[in-house]
Amino acid sequence: MIAVLDFGGQYTHLIARRLRDLHVPVRLFAHDVPAAEIAGVQGIVFSGGPSSVYASNAPRPDSKVFDLGIPILGLCYGHQFIANHFGGKVERATREYGERELDVVKAEGVLDGLHPKEKVWYSHGDSVLVLPSGFEVLAKSGDSIAAYAKGSIYGLQFHPEVHHTPCGNAVLQNFAFTICKAKKTPGTFSKDALIAEMRQRVGSQNVVIGVSGGVDSTVAAFLLRQAVGKKLFPIYVDTGLMRKNETREIQEFFNDFDHFVFVDASKEFLYALKGVSDPEKKRKIIGHLFVETFEKAAQSVPDVGYLAQGTIFSDRVESAAAGGKATSKIKSHHNLTLPEKMKWKVLEPLAELYKDEVRQLGKQLGVPEAILKRHPFPGPGLAINVVGEVTPDKLHAVREADYIFIDELRKAGWYDRMFEAFAAILPVRTVGVKGDERSYEYPIVLRAVESKDVMTADWVRLPPELLQKVASRILGEVEGVNRVFYDISQKPPATIRYE
């Protein structure tokens, strides 16, 4: 087994996921786990994290970990910590985010088999500038040391665990199998095991679940329908923040379930958001009102024992809920605050899965392809596609622009080739000309990204002629808009969405 020590990084669970994909037994531990508790593992990984190793409150592992004689791989913060611990020099340096080129000095150890130049993914502000005595450089990136080794201790400044490091799997394989001598075991999730687990946990009580028509909640509902049958009650709350035609499509889809509860609360949500611009306040307002509305609807369901949610691993990590160690919080989300407001026990059948695994499970469960291929859509809906205050006119504009963008992507065969695409509206107005008259209207931003696990993302290189067609339709058909931009930011440093 390989132990992953969590130093608060957003990618910590992704390290475990990648090793699990290699069929390597893996377990996550707090960064300060006593060395005696992990003395029997075959390898140890120090995760990344948002702290600086030279800060007084920087997280540190049990120093006796280094006395165990077990191979250690430090990633990002872990890389910096090891160097600093043994007397190297770590300082704030040129920040590196997103794709960079790695210069491989020695293709050995964890870098065995790599080419002299490799594309890798960075997300850091500090760098190792001077190595401790006895350590040797394996790779560089500009002036900073990108990889080093001393015996069976290795450090990497880049993130091999993310999808956007093409050589990442080779690096992890080198560490797990060549250096740690780990043995492969049959792995991955089991549909039948999940169904059996849910059936046993629920027993004779009823289950309510909020559904949105998205992949996660739909797959969770399908799984639970097979597990508990008529004891499942899907509840759909129309917040008025859904995409065009979505409410009608969701009603038609879930009417096939034995018990489907529909609530139109669109007026209440728009009223509650009036005058609110701060993104976290918007999320909290939506979350609290959703809880109240959902709870009222659930009162009509007898003998409720469980609240089921479609929470997946990336939701928990980005909301600082995974293992309680993700100290740098990126976003909050209403499905993660529900348990604090409700008296039922929480059921999260997909909590250990990533998006691609959820889609695999959905296919096994018979979820229609049209649902499984849908792009992600956050709980707060179009409220976070409207940057700033949510007003009826901006909400209408972004809904129409989003519909046009997705429609053209589907027609051109691009929709299924990307992870997510959407339109957002910015809280500024610019001068334009429409029909020989001066206009003072809002800009629309189009965003299309490719990602495997949400933890990193790159922008999609759409053909200029397609973007021009989308922009022409938006400017011609959507009131209140006079500019269209295309976002080419990577994650990190940007996030996929704007709020």
Catalytic residue at 164? no
3-state SS class at 293: helix
Q: Whose CA is closest to 12, among 24, 37, 30, 36? A: 30
Q: Whose CA is closest to 491, among 445, 446, 460? A: 460
Catalytic residue at 76? yes
3-state SS class at 250: helix
CA distance 166 to 32: 31
CA distance 29 to 187: 20
Distances (CA, A) of 365 to 234, 432, 457: 17, 51, 28
Residues 6+ apart with CB under 8 A from 130: 88, 89
Catalytic residue at 167? no
Return the structure tokens found at 16.
Answer: 């475990």
Distances (CA, A) of 385 to 255, 429, 471, 499: 28, 16, 17, 7
Active-site annotation holder among 76, 163, 167, 333: 76
DSSP letter for each residue of 189-220: --HHHHHHHHHHHHTTSEEEEE--SSHHHHHH
Active-site annotation holder among 31, 124, 159, 164: 159
Active-site annotation holder among 96, 118, 161, 246: 161
Return the structure tokens found at 187.
Answer: 């792995």
- The residues annotated as belonging to the active site are 76, 159, 161
